[in-house]
Structure 1
Amino acid sequence: MMNTIKFLRLAHNADLPLPAYATPGAAGMDLRACLADGDIVIEPGAIALIPTGFAVELPPATEMQIRPRSGLAIRSGILNPNSPGTVDEDYRGEIQVALMNAGHEAFAVAHGDRIAQAVIADVRRPEIVEAQSLAGTVRGAGGFGSTGVK
């Protein structure tokens, strides 16, 4: 498998650094807001789509998972409503990040702010077949808390 990710800088992104890992052990690379027209304010309960100014070419059989930044989530209630979001390997449009304000105050996103992290993950594409039955398990069809909390 190829170990290279290509980022294409889009025309409206004149100055942002490439997405990067903040530390040598980081699982996710930081994605930044590309807001040439000024800040975006996300009111409590609202969702905004934030551009990053980059398109990407991922290695075959991988995806880019878009996840919240823990500091934004804990301090300000800023989440990704579709977390983790998926960028498919064949997508070539601009990477955009959905941000939801689950906090109690308006939140301003400025150009260059680190708004999410991207994790590259392997993707399996098994054969899909219709079955007449499924193998039994101890759990069976129990779901939504059926195993308890303790």
Structure 2
Amino acid sequence: MSIPTTPQTLSVALQRLDPDLPVPAQARTGDAGVDLHARQDVRLEPGERALVPTGVALAIPEGYAAFVHPRSGLAARHGITVVNAPGTVDAGYRGEILVNLLNTDVREAVQLARGERIAQLVVQPVVRPVFTEVAELPPSERGSSGHGSTGSTGAAASPLTHP
């Protein structure tokens, strides 16, 4: 049995700061993110990072945020990632989207050309938390276990411990 679904859309105002670059778009129907393009050529030496402009500024509606994610192909082929992944674009920000790229390869430099797809932007609803201070949190099955507490498939691996 098939459950019908409908694609969700959200109107987002976009200012093109570089008319020669494409408007961010999905590479394929159903993709979660839209591609962001480099506004300039950039060379990243091993271990080097750079703030790369994308040529677009957005007005994300209140109640939403945009998140800049690494592109899996650049990561797999060249070790390129987004330093603060995912980078957060708040609803109130109106400046150019900049992507903080890092070359994690220890041997090879990477040359990225103007117009190349360098990251993905995913727009998501966000909620504003209202915190209530309590003396103790309610129990859960997991409790405070984290950072490797469920183990590993490697025989030599052991859960991390907290100091």
Structure 1: distance between partners of 2:15 and 2:89 = 15
Identity, % of aligned positions: 48
Matched, 1:116 2:123: no
Q: Which amino acid aligns with 2:14?
A: F
RMSD: 1.5
User: Any unmatched runs of 5+ in structure 2?
Assistant: 1-7, 154-163
| 2:27 equivalent to 1:25 | no
Mapped to 2, the partners of 1:130 and 1:139 lie a distance apart of: 21
TM-score (norm: length of structure 2):
0.84
Higher relative contact order (CA closer than 8 Å, sequence separation 6+): 1
Q: Give the Cα separation in 2 of the matches to 1:57 and 1:139.
A: 39
The total of aligned residue pairs comes to 145
- Partner Cα separation in structure 1 for residue 9 and residue 117 of structure 2: 27
Q: Which residue of 2 aligns with 1:93?
A: 95
Greater CA drift, 138-147 or 13-22? 138-147
CA deviation profile, 1:20-48 (whole Å, cap 9, x unmatched): 1111111110000011xxx2210010111
CA distance in 1, matches of 2:26, 2:117: 12
Structure 2 CA distance for aligned equivalents of residues 71 and 122 of structure 1: 26
CA deviations over 1:72-102 (Å, ceiling 9, x no partner): 0000110011111110011001100011001
Structure 1 residue runs of 5 or longer lacking an equivalent are none
Q: TM-score, normalised by structure 1?
A: 0.91
Larger Rg: 2
Deviation of residue 2 (structure 1)? 7.8
